[in-house]
């Protein structure tokens, strides 16, 4: 039998956070390809870094287990990618990473946040709804899918 304290410790592990750099891209790509059937390319991440987007890593000790990519301009931010390694999903890391990104955006004087999410991604949609995001639009055929294209739901909220 597993002691309750061990279960609690495993359920809410300590995470570290730091900015992403080019040296992290191979670890980021390993997570990206595990988490998504249609992953971003390394070049997309490299372009985000070069553009000065906020790219934040979530770490368990030194292992990359999640990340977020966000652009900030003109009082708005756009979360472009929020990803958690499949082995670490369901442990509040996505929520913690989201809240860290929102705090960074507030620190840069953004007052509104937007993002797109696959219409079929119910866990992510539940997370965003629980954090006050509302549907503000739809992008038809935005994402590649196994059978053609999938719609993106556009979500937004004040921060």
At residue 3, the pLDDT reads 42
Contacts of 92 (CB under 8 A, 6+ apart): 12
Query: How many whole angstroms separate alpha carbon 45 and alpha carbon 81?
Result: 10
* 82: confidence class by pLDDT, cuts 50, 70, 90: very high
For the segment 10-35, what is each residue's pLDDT rounded down to a tens digit?
454 578 999 999 999 999 999 999 99
At residue 19, the pLDDT reads 98
Joined tokens for residue 84 = 């958690």
Every domain of the chain and the residues it spans:
15-158
Question: Residue 46, Cβ neighbours under 10 Å: how many?
Answer: 12
* 43: confidence class by pLDDT, cuts 50, 70, 90: very high
pTM for the structure as a whole: 0.89
Fold of 15-158: Aminopeptidase (3.40.630)
Contacts of 69 (CB under 8 A, 6+ apart): 20, 45, 48, 53, 54, 55, 56, 79, 80, 81, 82
């Amino acid at each position: 039998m597993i002691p309750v304290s061990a279960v609690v410790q495993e359920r809410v592990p300590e995470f570290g956070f730091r900015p992403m750099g080019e040296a992290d891209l191979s670890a980021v790509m390993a997570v990206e390809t595990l988490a998504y059937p249609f992953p971003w390319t390394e070049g997309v991440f490299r372009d985000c870094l070069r553009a000065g987007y906020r790219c934040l890593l979530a770490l368990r000790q030194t292992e990359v287990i999640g990340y977020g990519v966000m652009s900030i301009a003109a009082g708005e931010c756009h979360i472009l990618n929020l990803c958690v390694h499949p082995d670490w999903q369901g442990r509040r890391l996505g929520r913690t990473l989201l809240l860290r990104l929102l705090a960074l955006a507030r620190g840069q004087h953004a007052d509104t946040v937007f993002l797109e999410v696959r219409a079929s991604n119910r866990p992510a949609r539940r997370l965003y709804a629980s954090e006050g995001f509302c549907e503000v639009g739809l992008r038809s055929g935005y994402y590649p899918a196994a059978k053609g294209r999938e719609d993106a739901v556009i979500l937004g909220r004040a921060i």
